[in-house]
Structure 1
Amino acid sequence: MDHETAWAGPATRRAWRRTALFRCAALSGSLLAFPVWLFAVVMTPAWLLVLWLPVLCAGLWYALLAVVAVASLAGMRRVLRVYPWQVGIAEVRSKKNGGTQFVVPNPEWPEKAVRLGYGGLIGTGRHFWVRTVRSGQVTAAWFAGDPRYLGVVATSGPRHLVRVAQREATDSRMSPRNRGVSPEARARARAAGARVGGD
């Protein structure tokens, strides 16, 4: 990949648009399921409500996951506009909790690895990055970002984009990481949308 940033590559922009289209369609589908659920509740005997309530709870959970997925699209694009792709740099492993772990070399100390997680929540078990890593189909990935803060992971192409982040880079309740990171790396991570702490 000879582009200064991942977003500069037409293939990346196409992959992001495909991801956005899929996630928006999933959100629309989960929202449209509620009127169907309500119609089913009204049209069936009252005693069946005990069966329809778990369906409602599952539908609400999947709708929440879809909202989070759509909300992450802007952050994903922001990362891709700052960092270039590093091809095959991320080692991909399955975690005991059912999620996926991406192991990426530290940009300033390549001999040290940084781990980023994805999945592990109820309802994420069928996601591409959980399913294919568990089956052993994917063992390496492209990475754009700084693994000490956040990044975007993809399969070759790029395809199957997903944003990953260290919790302290996105959670305002935690102290942001700023030790052992150069000012240039912090400035870049801040431009990509991470919380980096003071200079």
Structure 2
Amino acid sequence: MNPADYSVAWEHPPTRRAWWKQLVLCLISPVAWIALWFALLAVLVVFMPEGYGYSILFAPFLIYSFYRAYIQLFYIAVVWRTRRVLRVYPWHLFTDSPNGLGDRTDVVGQQCGWFEFPNPARPEEQLPMVFPSHWAVGWWHRRMAPRTKAVIKAQIRVVWLAGDPRFIGVIAAPTSNGTAPRRFRFLTQQMEKTEGYQSVTDWGATAEDIERGRRAGVNSGRS
């Protein structure tokens, strides 16, 4: 069951199962964090003696649990965007793709780590794609860090990409047996446009490529 044999990633059964698992976790997480917030508040109000000392002690935990519940609500939208990309693009498997955590001068906007993938129109040309948000990318960051042990880095030696490096994509790490994806994360193209690259057509994107990107959720203004 080679994931690259399917016309789009969504047709790959393990991919659909992995996506549904991620959606369920995203729906459960806000409820769990909110429940924890109320539980901590109940312990503070009902069981702890009166006084500012206990309030100060519990405050960081209350704030953190509320923050986690808040950002999980936003991440649900990202999960649906992931599905949209998976329904348009097939999986491509890459080995030893260049990656890093430092900011790149040729990328604009927020960047929280990057991977490079070959331009579909010119495979010899590598294009950087970045994590557009820091939410829930800690697993990837730990494996991309320069001082990470080789055995840990090996978990992202092979990465799956559904998307087009000129536009948008979803990256995943394979499971230990290499048959299913895990840790879906969004990647976007945010290279600074220079005189040599005024639009994606300069990267060899055809009208069909641009339309495909729009169906995957790319803002038409980026083309």
User: Greater shift after overlay, 100-109 or 186-195?
Assistant: 100-109
Unaligned runs of 5+ in 1: 169-176
1:102 to 88, 98, 115: 115
1:195 pairs with 2:219: yes
**Counterpart selection for 1:4 from 1, 4, 7:** 7
- Scaled by the length of structure 2, the TM-score of the pair is 0.73
Match of 2:142 in 1: 131
Q: CA deviation at 1:131?
A: 2.4
Identity among equivalent pairs (%): 27
CA contact (8 A) 1:90 1:143 kept: no
Partner letter of residue 79 of structure 2?
L
**Equivalent of residue 16 in structure 2, options 13, 36, 52:** 13
Which amino acid in 2 is paired with 1:186? I
Question: Which of 87, 107, 131 matches 2:93?
Answer: 87
Once structures 1 and 2 are overlaid, which stretch shifts more, 98-107 or 82-91? 98-107
Deviation of 1:34 after TM superposition, in Å, equals 1.9
- Superposition RMSD on alpha carbons, in Å? 2.8
Residues 1:112 and 2:136 aligned together:
no
CA deviation map 1:40-81 (0-9, x unaligned): 331323312222222232223222332222221111011000
Normalising by the residue count of structure 1, what TM-score does the alignment of the two structures yield? 0.81
TM-superposed CA distance for 1:140, in Å, is 3.2
Q: Aligned equivalents of 1:92 and 1:119: distance in 2?
A: 17
Is contact 1:5-1:82 (8 Å) kept?
A: yes
> Are residues 128 and 160 of structure 1, via their aligned partners in 2, closer, same or farther at CA, if it must alter by over 3 Å?
same
Match of 1:71 among 67, 74, 77: 77
Distance in 2, matches of 1:72 and 1:120, equals 10
Q: How far apart are residue 198 of structure 1 and its match?
A: 8.2
Aligned length: 190
The one-character-per-residue Cα deviations of 1:70-128 (angstroms, maximum 9, x if unpaired) are: 2211110110000000012672534147943221112222222222223874x746x32
Distance, in Å, in 2 between the alignment partners of 1:119 and 1:197 is: 17
Higher-Rg member (1/2)? 2
